[in-house]
């Protein structure tokens, strides 16, 4: 994974989504086992998931952690006919939108969040070379 590019994307999205707020964000890329443990412990859901966000924000300060599972991105990219790189972008956007107050627990709220997610994924794709986020090729 191209972590410097992902960091640049995360910082740019945070500036756009939270222009007047101070920000303290952690973005972690974890395996299926770790994301499944977090999913069970904090959400009481079984198995791995794509992204989990923890919001610790207080007042005007945005503070949170986003856990993303690249293994799930690979699987879901095939399922949804997209690339793993764009799935990772989508998960990052999704996590940031949760920190902005979006909720996906009802179908109406999920639809509103999906529209915002699609907008910011398109913005990211137009602004950054997303194809360079991740390559499955190994050096050597």
What tens digit of pLDDT does each residue of 20-41 get? 999 999 999 999 999 999 999 9
How far is Cα 56 from Cα 110, in angstroms, rounded to an integer?
Answer: 21
pLDDT per residue as tens digits for the range 58-115: 888 999 999 999 999 999 999 999 999 999 999 999 999 999 999 999 999 999 999 9
**Mean pLDDT for the stretch of residues 44-59:** 95
How far is Cα 86 from Cα 10, in angstroms, rounded to an integer?
Answer: 13
Confidence band of 140 (pLDDT split at 50, 70, 90): very low
Least Cα distance to 83 among 74, 92, 91 occurs for: 74
Residues 6 or more apart in contact with residue 7 via CB below 8 angstroms: 27
Confidence band of 11 (pLDDT split at 50, 70, 90): very high
How far is Cα 26 from Cα 67, in angstroms, rounded to an integer?
Answer: 8
């Amino acid at each position: 994974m191209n972590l410097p590019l992902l960091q640049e994307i995360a910082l740019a999205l945070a500036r756009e989504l939270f222009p007047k707020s101070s920000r303290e964000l952690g973005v972690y890329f974890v395996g299926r086992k770790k994301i499944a443990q977090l999913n069970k412990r904090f959400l009481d859901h079984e198995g791995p998931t794509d992204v989990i966000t923890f919001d610790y924000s207080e007042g005007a300060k945005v503070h949170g952690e986003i856990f993303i599972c690249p293994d799930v991105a690979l699987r879901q990219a095939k399922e949804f006919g997209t690339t793993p790189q764009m799935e990772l972008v989508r998960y990052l956007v999704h996590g940031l939108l949760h920190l902005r107050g979006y909720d996906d627990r009802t179908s109406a709220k999920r639809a509103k969040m999906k529209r915002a997610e699609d907008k910011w994924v398109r913005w990211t794709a137009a602004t950054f070379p997303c194809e360079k986020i991740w390559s499955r090729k190994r050096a050597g």
